[in-house]
Structure 1
Amino acid sequence: MPRASGEYFAYRGEEIVACGTVDEISKELGIDTKICRWYATSAAKRREAETYRKTGKGRMLILERVED
């Protein structure tokens, strides 16, 4: 898995829960850095979209890269 770099916003549902680098977000939220990097992948976003489609709720953490 490629290393995620740059600044990100972390969302849970529609709420922003953290922002910063992957390392900063993982430390702030108390989760492993590897898992935090996975949340920035397209696979994580597909799973969250499928969950939202089925339940109407966004539950998983998603990282979106901040564009300059």
Structure 2
Amino acid sequence: MNTSTSWKKSSHSGGGEGNDCVEVADLDTHIAVRDSKNPARAVLTFPSPAFRAFIEDLKEHPHR
């Protein structure tokens, strides 16, 4: 994964160092997701429209 990629972590990622979360990066046509505890390991990518639809559904139905 490109080291110049700007990774973002949720403000709700837990106490301490905030490593109880995933990080996301906007790669224009895709969204990359990685484990904040193991950032050098595998990265998952999703088409941007599909990831955005997933996030919107989570916002509408947070207790699913």
Q: After TM superposition, is the score higher than 0.5?
A: no
Q: State the TM-score bracket (shorter-chain normalisation).
A: 0.3 to 0.5
The structure with higher relative contact order (CA 8 Å, sep 6+) is 1
TM-score by length of 1: 0.34
TM-score by length of 2: 0.35
